[in-house]
C-alpha cells in the first residue's frame, strides 16, 4: 500500500516536472527581451527565411502552408516567453489537458520523421535569427530552454549509427566540449560527460587537438585524436610532452601516452532542460609513462627512480554535465579515482601512498553567446611523492567556437608546485586548438 502511494507520488512528481517543460515563463521578462510581439514577428520572419534556405532542413517544409506556420510559431514563442498570447495550433483540441499547458508537438511532426541533426539545425537557425535582431544571449537562451525538451517529441527518426554513415555534424555548437589535457572531451583539465565531436546520436564525429601550457619553469605539450560515436561512446589517444627549462631541470623531458574510453550512461545535458538531472558518463584512461630524459647524469631514466611505484596506471572517472540554458551556464562535476602523480607525468603511486584516491574536479562556464564561453576549472590531485609537493590545478578560460570545425581555448592556468627543485607555483598561459567535425 505504502509502496503504491510512493509510486503514485513519484508519478505525479514526474508528470508535473514534465509539464514544467511546456510551461511558459510566468513573468514577461523574456517576452520583453525578445522585443514584444513586434520583435517576435521580426525574429520569426527571419527564422522562417533561414529555415527555408537551410539545406539541412528546407526540404521538410515543401508543400506546407508557410504563412500559417509562421503565425503558429509566433504564438508559440510569445506564449513560452511569458507574453500575452496563446498558441492556437491545429492539434490544440486533441491534446489539451484542460489546464492549457500541454502541446502535442509529436502529432504535428511525427510524419516528418525528423532526425536529431535536423532538430538542432532548426534550433540553430532560431538562435541566429535572434542574434540578427540583437536579442541578448541571456534572453535567447531562455527561449531555447523552453524549446529544447521538445526534442523528445519532435525527433522520431532514429536510424542509429549506420555502417559507413557520413558524419552529420548534427550537435549544437560547443556541445562536444573541447579537448582536455589527457585527450578526453571536456574542459581544459577536466573530462566532462559530453561526448567529443559533433556526431549526433545517429552519426559520429572526430577531432584532433594541440595544447600548449607554459609556466615559469616548465612547458607541457599535449596532442591527440578522438572520436565520438552515436553521441554515446568516446575513444581518445593523446600524448603529453613535458619539458623543464630552468636549471637544474632545464633538460628534463618526460613523455606519456594516454588511451581513453568514455561511455554516456544516462541523461542528456542539452535537451533535458525541464529536469535537473545531468548527463552522466563514466570513463577510463590508461596511461603509460615513456621515461625520463635529461637526467642521465643522475642516472635517472624512469619515473620509478624518482619514487613512483609504477610507470603506468589507470584513472577511472564519473562525470556529470548539465547545460543550463535558462542561466546560460554549463556546469560539470567529475570524480576521479587515481594514483597518478601530476596526471602520470611523474608516474603512479609513491612513498606517500600507493592506492587510488577519489579526487573531485569541477568546471563552470558562462555562455556569453553561441560561440563564446568563459569559465573556470578546478582539479584536485593526490600527493603520493615526497619529492613532489603536488597541489591542485585550476584555470580560468575563454573558449571560442567560430565553426563546428574548429575551437580555440585560451586560459590562465595554475599547475601548483611541480618539483622540489623549482618550488614555486607554476602559473602561466594555456592555449589549445581543436579541429574536427
For ligand HEM, the binding residues (CB under 6 A) are 57, 60-61, 64, 69, 72-73, 76, 89-91, 108-109, 112, 114, 118-119, 122-123, 147, 150, 154
> For residues 155 and 213, which CB has a smaller minimum distance to ligand HEM in the complex?
155
Q: What are the backbone dihedrals phi and psi of residue 194, each rounded to the nearest 5 degrees, phi first?
A: -65, 145
> For residues 112 and 406, which CB has a smaller minimum distance to ligand HEM in the complex?
112
Q: How far is the CB of 279 from ligand HEM (least distance, A)?
A: 19
> For residues 14 and 110, which CB has a smaller minimum distance to ligand HEM in the complex?
110
Residue nearest to ligand HEM (CB): 89
> For residues 116 and 328, which CB has a smaller minimum distance to ligand HEM in the complex?
116
> For residues 69 and 396, which CB has a smaller minimum distance to ligand HEM in the complex?
69
Bridge partners, 431 (sequence order):
212, 410
Q: How far is the CB of 205 from ligand HEM (least distance, A)?
A: 20
Do 173 and 382 form a contact (C-beta atoms < 8 A)? no
Q: How far is the CB of 274 from ligand HEM (least distance, A)?
A: 13
**Measured CA angle at 373 (ends 368, 360), to 5 deg:** 130
Write out the H or E segment, with its range, that includes residue 262. Answer: strand 253-266
Q: How far is the CB of 79 from ligand HEM (least distance, A)?
A: 10
Q: How far is the CB of 411 from ligand HEM (least distance, A)?
A: 33
> For residues 199 and 349, which CB has a smaller minimum distance to ligand HEM in the complex?
199
> For residues 40 and 178, which CB has a smaller minimum distance to ligand HEM in the complex?
40
Which region, left, alpha or beta, applies to residue 37 given φ > 0 means left and ψ of -120 to 50 means alpha? alpha
Do 188 and 430 form a contact (C-beta atoms < 8 A)? yes
Q: How far is the CB of 134 from ligand HEM (least distance, A)?
A: 21
d(CA 154, CA 143): 17
d(CA 370, CA 125): 12
Q: Give DSSP secondary structure letters for 212-277.
A: EEEESSEEEEEEEEEEEETTTEEEEEEEEEEEE-STTSTT-EEEEEEEEEEEEEE--TTT-TTS-P
Distance of CA 106 to the CA centre of its chain: 27
Write out the H or E segment, with its range, that includes residue 96. Answer: none
d(CA 75, CA 338): 53
> For residues 89 and 436, which CB has a smaller minimum distance to ligand HEM in the complex?
89
Q: How far is the CB of 104 from ligand HEM (least distance, A)?
A: 9
Give how far Cα 419 sits from Cα of 246, 327, 343, 389, Å.
12, 40, 14, 6
Q: How far is the CB of 2 from ligand HEM (least distance, A)?
A: 41
Going by the DSSP 8-state scheme, the letter that residue 91 receives in this structure is T
Do 178 and 207 form a contact (C-beta atoms < 8 A)? no
Place of cell 502535442: 104
Amino acid at each position: 500500500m505504502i509502496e503504491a502511494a510512493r509510486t503514485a507520488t513519484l508519478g505525479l512528481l514526474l508528470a508535473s516536472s514534465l509539464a514544467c517543460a511546456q510551461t511558459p515563463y510566468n513573468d514577461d521578462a523574456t517576452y520583453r527581451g525578445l522585443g514584444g510581439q513586434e520583435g517576435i514577428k521580426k525574429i520569426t520572419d527571419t527564422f522562417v527565411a533561414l529555415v527555408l534556405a537551410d539545406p539541412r532542413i528546407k526540404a521538410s517544409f515543401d508543400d506546407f502552408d508557410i504563412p500559417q506556420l509562421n503565425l503558429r510559431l509566433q504564438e508559440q514563442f510569445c506564449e513560452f516567453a511569458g507574453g500575452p498570447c496563446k498558441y492556437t495550433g491545429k492539434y490544440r483540441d486533441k491534446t489539451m489537458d484542460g489546464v492549457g499547458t500541454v502541446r502535442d508537438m509529436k502529432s504535428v511532426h511525427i510524419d516528418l520523421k525528423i532526425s536529431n541533426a535536423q532538430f538542432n539545425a532548426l534550433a540553430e537557425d532560431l538562435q541566429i535569427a535572434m542574434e540578427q535582431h540583437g536579442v541578448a544571449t541571456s534572453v535567447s537562451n531562455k527561449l531555447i530552454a523552453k524549446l529544447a525538451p521538445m526534442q523528445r517529441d519532435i525527433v522520431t527518426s532514429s536510424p542509429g549509427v549506420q555502417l559507413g554513415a557520413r558524419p552529420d555534424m548534427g550537435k549544437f555548437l560547443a556541445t562536444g566540449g573541447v579537448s582536455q589535457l589527457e585527450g578526453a572531451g571536456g574542459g581544459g583539465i577536466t573530462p566532462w560527460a559530453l561526448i567529443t565531436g559533433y556526431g549526433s546520436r545517429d552519426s559520429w564525429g572526430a577531432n584532433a587537438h594541440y595544447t600548449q601550457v607554459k609556466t615559469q619553469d616548465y612547458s607541457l605539450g599535449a596532442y591527440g585524436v578522438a572520436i565520438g560515436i552515436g553521441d554515446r561512446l568516446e575513444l581518445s589517444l593523446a600524448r603529453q610532452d613535458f619539458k623543464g627549462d630552468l636549471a637544474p631541470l632545464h633538460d628534463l623531458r618526460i613523455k606519456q601516452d594516454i588511451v581513453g574510453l568514455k561511455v554516456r550512461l544516462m541523461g542528456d545535458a542539452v535537451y533535458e532542460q525541464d529536469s535537473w538531472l545531468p548527463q552522466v558518463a563514466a570513463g577510463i584512461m590508461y596511461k603509460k609513462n615513456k621515461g625520463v630524459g635529461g637526467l642521465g647524469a643522475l642516472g635517472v631514466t624512469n619515473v620509478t627512480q624518482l619514487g613512483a611505484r609504477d610507470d603506468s596506471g589507470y584513472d577511472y572517472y564519473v562525470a556529470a554535465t548539465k547545460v543550463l540554458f535558462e542561466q546560460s551556464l554549463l556546469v560539470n562535476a567529475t570524480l576521479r579515482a587515481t594514483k597518478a602523480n601530476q596526471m602520470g607525468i611523474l608516474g603512479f603511486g609513491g612513498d606517500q601512498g600507493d592506492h587510488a584516491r577519489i579526487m573531485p574536479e569541477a568546471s563552470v562556464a558562462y555562455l556569453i553567446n553561441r560561440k563564446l564561453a568563459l569559465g573556470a576549472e578546478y582539479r584536485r590531485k593526490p600527493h603520493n611523492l615526497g619529492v613532489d609537493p603536488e597541489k591542485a590545478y585550476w584555470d580560468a578560460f575563454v573558449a571560442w567556437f567560430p565553426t563546428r570545425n574548429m575551437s580555440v581555448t585560451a586560459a590562465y592556468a595554475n599547475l601548483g608546485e611541480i618539483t622540489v627543485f623549482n618550488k614555486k607555483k607554476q602559473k602561466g598561459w594555456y592555449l589549445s586548438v581543436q579541429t574536427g567535425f
